Amino acid sequence: MNITLKVWRQKNASEPGALVQYDVKGIVPEMSFLEMLDTLNEQLLAKGEDPLAFDSDCREGICGMCDLIIDGQAHGPDKGATTCQLHMRRYKDGDVVTVEPFRSKAFPIVKDLVVDRSAFDRIQAAGGFVSINTGNAVDGNNILIPHDKAEKAMDAAACIGCGACVAACPNASAMLFVAAKVSQYALLPQGQPEREKRVLAMREAMDAEGFGHCTNEYECEAACPKEIKISNIARLNREFLRATLVSE
């Protein structure tokens, strides 16, 4: 099958970009979307043309590296899936598909479809951890965690840090990402000692990075490949409120 792509090309952060059209031939339905882009790149290289830059690594939906806006949707049309999990059987011969980078002020463009998401690392460095030193932990079974609590914490912990929530949000808010981390720790006994400090520090770091505010658009939840629930944002807000009360 043949597909027409309209792809965002941009040399670097300072130069303007534009959509460029490519016809990709010889696509089979079993290919993943990224494998289709690989095919295009091999064709471009054979002609000595500059291939498309895009990020990916694990290609199985877990590393959080792939990040495309496909026809206006972060990670493309499939629900609960990353870009690398999207397959070409979704498309038919002759389709025209637009591919753009995750856009947000806090994620500057590196080249073409590649953006810099290091703001997420800085938010984590501000407080997304339990301060425990190596070598002094008590036996794991000394910390009992009810099955359901552990499962809920795991639901939140499943965030892969891809940034689709930011890209999908009209305000480019990072609330879902931050909420996932804060929720995981808030639900677990290990997270309690730094509970207030953590939420305050992470929220502050998030604002400092230039992410927007949450106005309950629900776009993040819809775009999230790991189906992180918006209820985590409610918990984040409660945690934040609680922390401001407790710490004053």
Partner 1 sequence: MKLESKVPTGPIEKSWDKHRFELKLVNPANKRKFKILVVGTGLAGASAAASCAELGYQVEVFCVQDSPRRAHSIAAQGGINAAKNYPNDGDSVWRLFYDTIKGGDFRAREANVYRLAQVSNSIIDQCVAQGVPFAREYGGTLSNRSFGGAQVSRTFYARGQTGQQLLLGAYSALMRQVGAGAVKMHTRSEMLDLVVVDGAARGIITRDLATGKVERHAGDAVLLCTGGYGNVFYLSTNANSCNVTATWRAYKRGAAFANPCYTQIHPTCVPVTGEYQSKLTLMSESLRNDGRVWVPLKKGDDRKPQDIPEAERDYYLERKYPAFGNLVPRDIASRAAKQMTDDGRGVGKTGLSVYLDFADAIKRIGLDKVKEKYGNLFDMYHHITDEDPYQQPMRIYPAVHYTMGGLWVDYNLMTTVPGLFCLGEANFSDHGANRLGASALMQGLADGYFVLPYTIGGYLTGNKLPKVTTDHKAFTEAEGSVNARTKALLGANGKKAPSVLHRELGHVMWNNVGMGRNAKGLKEALSRIPEIRAEFWKNVSVVGSGEDFNQTLERAGRVADFLEFGELLAKDALVREESCGGHFREEHQTPDGEAKRDDEKFAHVAAWEYKGEGQEPARHTEPLTFENVHIAQRNYA
How far, in Å, are 137, 140, 166, 184, 196 from residue 144 at the CA level? 14, 8, 35, 16, 22
Find which of partner 1, ligand FES, ligand SF4, none residue 66 binds, CB within 5 to 8 Å per kind.
ligand FES
Amino acid at 167: A
Q: Count of residues binding ligand FES (CB under 6 A)?
A: 13
Q: Which of 152, 198, 226, 235 binds ligand SF4 (CB under 6 A)?
A: 226
- Using CB under 6 A as the binding rule, whether residue 81 contacts ligand FES is answered as no
Distance CA 7, CA 97 (A): 8
Find which of ligand FES, partner 1, ligand SF4, none residue 165 binds, CB within 5 to 8 Å per kind.
ligand SF4
- Nearer to ligand SF4 by C-beta: 49 or 227? 227
Distance CA 238, CA 92 (A): 46
Q: Which of 9, 24, 51, 59 binds ligand FES (CB under 6 A)?
A: 59
- Using CB under 6 A as the binding rule, whether residue 84 contacts ligand FES is answered as yes
End-to-end CA gap in the chain: 63
- Using CB under 6 A as the binding rule, whether residue 227 contacts ligand FES is answered as no
Find which of ligand SF4, ligand FES, partner 1, none residue 245 binds, CB within 5 to 8 Å per kind.
none
Distance CA 70, CA 83 (A): 9
How far, in Å, are 60, 61, 64, 87 from residue 225 at the CA level? 12, 8, 9, 15
Whether the Cβ atoms of residue 149 and residue 186 lie closer than 8 Å to each other: no
Residues in contact with ligand FES by CB under 6 A are 56-59, 61-66, 82-84
Residues in contact with ligand SF4 by CB under 6 A are 159-165, 176-177, 180, 223-226, 228
